Every structure is written in structure tokens, then in C-alpha cells.
Amino acid sequence: MAMLDVTNLGISFGGLRAVDAFEVHIEKGELYGLIGPNGAGKTTVFNMLTGVYKPTDGVIKLDDKNITGMKTTQINQAGIARTFQNIRLFSQLTVLDNVKAGLHNGYEYSTVAGIFRLPSYRKMEKAMDEKALELLEVFDLDKEASLLAGNLPYGKQRKLEIARALATNPKLLLLDEPAAGMNPNETKELMDTIQLIREKFDMTILLIEHDMKLVSGICERLTVLNFGQVLAQGKTSDVLNDPEVIKAYLGE
Amino acid sequence: MKKLKLNKDYLITYGMVIGFYILMSILKGTGNLSSLFSGLLVPICVYTILAVSLNLTVGILGELSLGHAGFMCVGAFSSAFFSMCMKDIITNSFVRFFIALIISALVAALFGIIIGIPVLRLRGDYLAIVTLAFGEIIKNIVNILYVGKDSDGLHISIKDSISLGLKEDGKVIINGAQGITGTPHDSNFTVGIVLLLITLFVVLNFMNSRSGRAVMAIRDNRIAAESIGINISKYKLMAFSISAALAGVAGALYAHNLSTLNALPKNFGYNMSIMILVYVVLGGIGNIRGSILAAAILTVLPELLRGFADYRMLIYSVVLIALMLFNASPKGMEIKEKISPSRLLAAKKQTKEVQ
């Protein structure tokens, strides 16, 4: 049984069928790619997986637990974390606090304890600081911990977003175009980072990407979406050589 | 390292308030404080508490509230009503006022929750519209409310005091537009400063706790906050009701400083709400120390300008505009940087201002 089982997933916005009969089965520890031309419905799939949109039909199962139609917050607690195509950081908070916000549900103490600085506050805050710094170190962001997140350079903002998502201790990590807007060097670095998280955290990753170098470099299997429908699915090398896929991307 | 600096910044804020208290006490003790100015000491505390509590809604939560005076009004009347009822039963003024404060906070928080539950679920400026209406409604309801007490218990009417049907021994407590007369004079400058310090303690510690972080995360990016499992409605409601409760406390302080409490547009109306918002904006949205300074200066300013007679409000508005320009201009920021009591924080502040 796969970790993420998506069967017959579909959504309609009024008369527009944005995604139709989408299927994907991701095994634990796999690095899976979701590609397709602009407007194919990739981000819509992500939004359905994370509860931003409610699917019109279909079933999403995470570790055999049905999470279809659950709220974003609940889905995150069930074990799916994501990053966004257009970076969404807490820009007025420090880098450290961004990650600590991600630790919100992992380390609990009451508001009253927080206001009166009770022992549970001190204990938990200390544990959070340690955990957050540990995560930042993985992404080489520990030196910037006290900077405001909005002041970080672009590439580091992307990394911080991944660190924040990992802080929620997910089973499955969804990355929405992690290499968008990056130069080849940064992309290379990002590929290493993604490999690193996968090994270090034993993470299952599903990513959307347009950069074919990144996709062919790290993804084991791919699904190609076109006009909301699955065009091809399988091993990366097979899919990328599929004439149908080349046609969808490059035209005839 | 970062923690240390943060604490230092807060200590300066607390120190500023305590320093102001000591200075005023000395001036008062030596008889160097005019009666006009000493009469302003409690109002300064009231308005600084209001400004700090509104900053929690506007600066930390990122929602606009235009009815903060409404929460103050609720707190003022509930606490004054309690004090009037218990005047003869609890004779220890300290205990009575303490209970009155708690009642004012709870009642104001309750109204905050009632308003917050439906409104904070929505995105956009709905909170501003609803709180604006709330402030006006509360003021008008209080103006037609008649409550009396006799040996049978409480009597409530919204017509007039005669329809209360009180017995011989009865007494009207809330007398419609004439409000509450004879509230015990329980608040003074010391109590006001203590309450201001408590308000600061609550707001600053809240900001730096797990819940405060969640609230600021929601302010910065709601969708991202949801994606990392933060319960949006819960934390918005929490911040808003704390803010309302503190405004209620300010109301109790205000009510126990006056012999007659009535709801006028001047003290609990729309203008007052806007005035509190002006303190927050002028002091810097999200800047707690700024709110205190702005509220204190703008409370004293109209009195200092009395000498200008008819031109008073004209000069007041000019000063307001000048202060705002000074606050927002790069040169003004530079100057503030130089005279800042916390040079140590310069590096941190600069990064903020670049933003």
C-alpha cells in the first residue's frame, strides 16, 4: 500500500473541469515529480491535497486514512506540509520565529503560561529554540536566525519556507516549483538540499517543477498533467521520452 | 543573544513608565504640578492603556477596529454599576475596585467574543465596519438604560426612571442619559500606572509566546499560517478578546475617576475610537512603546494649547500633521535613531526600517 493514494480526483469550478480523474500513488521515501505546461492544473492538485480546495470527486488517502475534504489545518496535522509557488513567509517575523511558528503544534503550552512566563513556557521555548536552530542549520540559515524573514535573499527565502514546512513534522512534503526564479547555480544547490532532506528526515516528497534538469536529476517517477488530465505516468526517463509528453511541451 | 536584546527593549518601556510615575509623584509632592496637569494624570493612564490594547488588534493581529471606545464603555458601565451596588456591602475600596476591574475585563472580553466569533471568520475589513456599529450601538443603549435597585432586587427599564417602579427604599443606579452618579472615587494615578504596567506585561509577553507568534503569523500570511496547522479563528479571537478586555479595564479606571459617568459622543463615541486609532498610528503600528508616547503626548497637548484659545484645535491638528510627517520621513527616523534610548538595538531597528 502506498503512502499517498489519490484516486479519481477531480474538481470543477462552475463549468470548468480544472482537474479530471487524477491518480497518483506515492510510496514512502519516494521523490515524485508532477509536471505539465502552464495552466495544466498542477497547483490545483496541490491545493486539493492540502485542503485549500475541496475536491468535487475522488478520494485522497494518507497512510490509509481518508483525508478528503478535511480543513487545511487538519491535513497539516495529519502529516502533509507544503511550500508555495509564490513564497509565503511571515515576513515581519524573524527567521527563527518563522520556523518556531512551524513548531506550533509540536510543542504546546497554554497562553496563560506564556503570559505569566510559567516553567512550562521556559521549558518549551528552550526546546523550540533548539529544534528550530537545528533545522536552520540543515539549510545553512542559522547565521541569519535573528534577521527578519522578508529581508532574506530570494534563494534563502525558498529554503526557509522548506524549513518551516519541515518543522511541522510531516510525513509528506509538497514543494510547489521550488526552483522558480533561481539561477542554475542556485538550482544545483537546491537539488542537493532536496536530496539531503530526503535522506536526513526520511521524507517522502512530491514536487511541481518546470526545470527539466532538476526533474530528471532527482525525481524517480513522474506524472505529467495536461489540461487537467494525466497524460503520462511512470519512470522519469520513460516519461520524458514519451512522444506525447514532448508534443504537449514543445508543440508539434 | 537575541533574547537578551529583546528583554532590554522591554525593560526600557517599563522603565519609561515607572520613570514618568516617579517624576510626576515628585512634582506633585513638591507642589510643582498645576491642578490642570494633575487632573490629567489618570486620563493619561486610561488612554495609554487603550492605545496599547488597540495596538494588539491593529498592529499584532492586523485587523482594523473602529469601536474600541465601545469596549471601554462596556467596561466603564459594568464596573461602575458593580461598585454602586456594592458600595455599602464591600467597604474596602481596594477589594471592591479589584473585583470591579475583573468584572470590566470579563464583560468587555465577552462582548469581544460575541463580536469576534462571526466577524473574525471573514477576510477583509468587516471587523472595522462591525466594531464601528458596535461602538455606536453600545453608547446609545446605555443612554436609554434605566436600572434601579430596591429591597426586591434589580429593576430594568428602557423607558424612564419612573417605570422602574421602585419602592421607597429604592435607588436609581443607571439613570438613562444622566448615567451613573456617585461612583466611588477608587482610581488614582498610582492605580493607573499599575494597570498600565499590567497591560504592558500582558501584551508584551503575549507577543513573545507561542500564541502571539501564531497571531503574528496569521497577520503576515494567513494562507501560510493555515498550511502549518495554526487554527486561524481561535488565535484571532484570542487576540481580539484580550484587546477588548484591556480596553474594558481602561474603562473601569476611567469610570472610577469621575463622579458622574455618562455616555457622550465625546468620551465613548466614534470620535474617541478614532482618537485611540490615531495614537496607535502615530506611535507606529505594532510599536507598543510608540503607542504609549503618542497617547500621553496627545492627551496633554490640547491642555497645553489652552492658551491659544480659539486657535487651539487648529494648532493641535497642525502639530498632529507635523508629527506624522516627522515620523514617516527618513530624516525623522534618523533623528529618532540617534536619540533612541536603546542604541544597542540600532542594528535590529535598521533592518526593520529598511523593510
Question: Do A212 and A143 belong to one domain?
Answer: no
Over chain B, what HEC string results? CHHHHHHHHHHHHHHHHHHHHHHHHHHHHCCCCCHHHHCCHHHHHHHHHHHHHHHHHHHHHCCCCCCHHHHHHHHHHHHHHHHHHHCCCCCCHHHHHHHHHHHHHHHHHHHHHHHHHHHCCCCCCHHHHHHHHHHHHHHHHHHHCEEEEECCEEEEECCCCHHHCCCCCCEEEEEHHHCEECCCCCCCHHHHHHHHHHHHHHHHHHHCCHHHHHHHHHHHCHHHHHHCCCCHHHHHHHHHHHHHHHHHHHHHHHHCCCCEECCCHHHHCHHHHHHHHHHHHHHCCCCHHHHHHHHHHHHHHHHHHHHHHHHHHHHHHHHHHHHHHHHHCHHHHHHHHHHCCCHHHHHHHHHHHHC
Domain range holding B169? 44-340
In angstroms, the separation between the Cα of residue B2 and the nearest Cα of chain A is 7
pLDDT > 70: what percent of chain A? Answer: 98
Residue A100 has pLDDT above 90, yes or no: yes
Residue with more model confidence, B8 or A83:
A83
User: Per-residue pLDDT averaged across A15-40, rounded?
Assistant: 92
What domain count does chain B have? 2
Are the C-beta atoms of B111 and B256 separated by less than 8 Å? no
In angstroms, the separation between the Cα of residue A82 and the nearest Cα of chain B is 7
Query: CB-based contact (8 Å) between A117 and chain B?
Result: yes
Binary contact (A115, B209; C-beta < 8 A):
yes
Residue A52: inside a domain, yes or no? yes
- A residues 123-162 near B, CB within 8 Å? 124-125, 128, 145-148, 150-151
Res B256: pLDDT: 94
Question: Do A177 and A73 belong to one domain?
Answer: yes
Question: Do B21 and B49 belong to one domain?
Answer: no
Question: Do A239 and A183 belong to one domain?
Answer: yes
Are the C-beta atoms of B167 and B150 separated by less than 8 Å? yes
CA distance B209 to B224: 19
What is the full DSSP assignment across A50-84? Answer: TTSS--SEEEEEETTEE-TT--HHHHHHHTEEE--
pLDDT band at B35 (very low <50, low <70, confident <90, very high): confident
Res A195: pLDDT: 92
Task: Return the residue matching grid coordinates 503626548.
Answer: B297
Mean residue pLDDT of chain B comes to 87
Query: CB-based contact (8 Å) between A165 and chain B?
Result: yes
Give the mutation candidate from A48, A74, A83, A92 for the B interface (greatest B CB count, under 10 A): A92
Binary contact (B205, A116; C-beta < 8 A):
yes
Among A77, A82, A114, the residue with its CB nearest the CB of B210 is A114
Residue B355: inside a domain, yes or no? no
CA distance B222 to B57: 15
Are the C-beta atoms of B90 and B236 separated by less than 8 Å? no
Residue B39: inside a domain, yes or no? no
Residue B350: inside a domain, yes or no? no
- A166, three cell numbers: 519541515
In angstroms, the separation between the Cα of residue B64 and the nearest Cα of chain A is 18
Mean residue pLDDT of chain A comes to 92
Question: Do B2 and B76 belong to one domain?
Answer: no
Among B205, B223, B352, the residue with its CB nearest the CB of A114 is B205
Residue B352: inside a domain, yes or no? no
Res B338: pLDDT: 67
Task: Return the residue matching grid coordinates 477608587.
Answer: B186
pLDDT digits (tens, 9 = 90+) for A202-228: 999 999 998 888 999 999 999 999 999
pLDDT > 70: what percent of chain B? Answer: 93
Question: Do B16 and B119 belong to one domain?
Answer: no
Res B81: pLDDT: 93
Res B325: pLDDT: 84
Nearest CA in chain A to B215: A101
Question: Do A152 and A219 belong to one domain?
Answer: no
What domain count does chain A have? 2
Residue with more model confidence, B329 or A24:
A24
CA distance A246 to A252: 8
Residue B348: inside a domain, yes or no? no
In angstroms, the separation between the Cα of residue B72 and the nearest Cα of chain A is 22
Question: Do A73 and A136 belong to one domain?
Answer: no
Interface predicted TM-score (ipTM): 0.92
Residue A141: inside a domain, yes or no? yes
Residue B8: inside a domain, yes or no? yes
pLDDT band at B317 (very low <50, low <70, confident <90, very high): confident
Res B344: pLDDT: 45
User: Per-residue pLDDT averaged across B262-270, rounded?
Assistant: 87
Residue B106 has pLDDT above 80, yes or no: yes
Among A82, A104, A121, the residue with its CB nearest the CB of B214 is A104
Chain A residues closer than 8 Å to B229 by CB: 73, 76-77, 104-105, 168
Question: Do A9 and A74 belong to one domain?
Answer: yes
- B77, three cell numbers: 458601565
Are the C-beta atoms of B186 and B179 separated by less than 8 Å? no
Query: CB-based contact (8 Å) between B228 and chain A?
Result: yes
Res B328: pLDDT: 76
- B346, three cell numbers: 540600532
Query: CB-based contact (8 Å) between A101 and chain B?
Result: yes
Question: Do B21 and B154 belong to one domain?
Answer: no
Boundary of a domain, candidates A147, A168, A189: A168
Domain range holding A233? 1-79+170-252
Binary contact (B354, A151; C-beta < 8 A):
yes
Residue B17 has pLDDT above 90, yes or no: yes
User: Per-residue pLDDT averaged across B43-61, rounded?
Assistant: 95
Binary contact (A94, B209; C-beta < 8 A):
no
CA distance A229 to B150: 77
- B residues 280-339 near A, CB within 8 Å? 286
Question: Do B100 and B172 belong to one domain?
Answer: yes
Boundary of a domain, candidates A168, A193, A219: A168
Among A84, A100, A111, the residue with its CB nearest the CB of B224 is A84
Give the mutation candidate from A74, A84, A109, A111 for the B interface (greatest B CB count, under 10 A): A111
At A120, which helix (H) or strand (E)?
Answer: helix A119-138
Question: Do A193 and A242 belong to one domain?
Answer: yes
- pTM score of the predicted model: 0.89
Give the mutation candidate from B227, B349, B350 for the A interface (greatest A CB count, under 10 A): B227
Residue A232: inside a domain, yes or no? yes
Res A213: pLDDT: 87
**Which residue intervals of B30-180 are DSSP H helices?**
35-38, 41-55, 68-86, 93-119, 126-144
Chain A residues closer than 8 Å to B354 by CB: 151
pLDDT digits (tens, 9 = 90+) for A42-99: 999 999 999 999 999 999 999 999 999 899 999 999 999 999 999 999 999 999 999 9
Question: Do B151 and B226 belong to one domain?
Answer: yes
Residue B18 has pLDDT above 60, yes or no: yes
Residue A86: inside a domain, yes or no? no
- B residues 77-116 near A, CB within 8 Å? none
Are the C-beta atoms of A199 and A205 separated by less than 8 Å? no
CA distance B247 to A245: 62
Question: Do B206 and B317 belong to one domain?
Answer: yes
Are the C-beta atoms of B299 and B37 separated by less than 8 Å? no
- B324, three cell numbers: 506624522
Question: Kindly report the CA angle at B61 between A154 and A141, in degrees rounded to 5?
Answer: 25
Residue A244 has pLDDT above 90, yes or no: no
Please give the backbone phi and psi of residue A153, each rounded to the nearest 5 degrees, phi first: -65, 155
CB-CB neighbours of B13 under 10 Å: 20
Query: CB-based contact (8 Å) between A100 and chain B?
Result: yes
User: Per-residue pLDDT averaged across A26-39, rounded?
Assistant: 92
The CATH number that applies at residue A54 is 3.40.50.300
Question: Do A95 and A158 belong to one domain?
Answer: yes
Question: Do B49 and B26 belong to one domain?
Answer: no
pLDDT > 90: what percent of chain B? Answer: 53
pLDDT band at B1 (very low <50, low <70, confident <90, very high): very low
Question: Do A193 and A71 belong to one domain?
Answer: yes
In angstroms, the separation between the Cα of residue B277 and the nearest Cα of chain A is 21
Residue A84: inside a domain, yes or no? no
Chain B residues closer than 8 Å to A81 by CB: 227-228
State how far the alpha carbon of A71 is from the alpha carbons of A140, A169, B222, in Å: 33, 18, 14
Residue A154: inside a domain, yes or no? yes
Residues in chain A: 252
pLDDT digits (tens, 9 = 90+) for A111-132: 999 999 999 999 999 999 999 9
Chain A residues closer than 8 Å to B202 by CB: 115
Question: Do A43 and A32 belong to one domain?
Answer: yes
pLDDT digits (tens, 9 = 90+) for B196-247: 999 999 999 999 999 999 999 999 999 999 999 999 999 999 999 999 999 9
pLDDT > 90: what percent of chain A? Answer: 78
CA distance B299 to B316: 11
Among B1, B206, B351, the residue with its CB nearest the CB of A148 is B351
CB pairs under 8 A between A and B: 112
Chain B residues closer than 8 Å to A145 by CB: 2
Binary contact (A115, B214; C-beta < 8 A):
no
Question: Do B81 and B153 belong to one domain?
Answer: yes
Least confident of A226-235, B31-40, B132-141: B31-40
Residue A171 has pLDDT above 90, yes or no: yes
Boundary of a domain, candidates A168, A184, A217: A168
Residue A85: inside a domain, yes or no? no
Residue B84: inside a domain, yes or no? yes
Question: Do B68 and B15 belong to one domain?
Answer: no
In angstroms, the separation between the Cα of residue A1 and the nearest Cα of chain B is 26
Residue A190: inside a domain, yes or no? yes
Question: Do A8 and A27 belong to one domain?
Answer: yes
Among A117, A145, A151, the residue with its CB nearest the CB of B351 is A151
Query: CB-based contact (8 Å) between B233 and chain A?
Result: no
- B144 CB contacts (<8 Å, ≥6 apart)? B158, B176, B177
pLDDT band at B5 (very low <50, low <70, confident <90, very high): low
Residue B36: inside a domain, yes or no? no
Task: Return the residue matching grid coordinates 510643582.
Answer: B32
Query: CB-based contact (8 Å) between B238 and chain A?
Result: yes
CA distance A192 to B46: 57
Question: Do A148 and A198 belong to one domain?
Answer: no
pLDDT digits (tens, 9 = 90+) for A183-205: 888 899 899 999 999 999 999 99
Res B250: pLDDT: 97
pLDDT digits (tens, 9 = 90+) for B88-99: 888 888 999 999
Binary contact (A90, B2; C-beta < 8 A):
no
Res B342: pLDDT: 52
Res B2: pLDDT: 47
Query: CB-based contact (8 Å) between A90 and chain B?
Result: yes
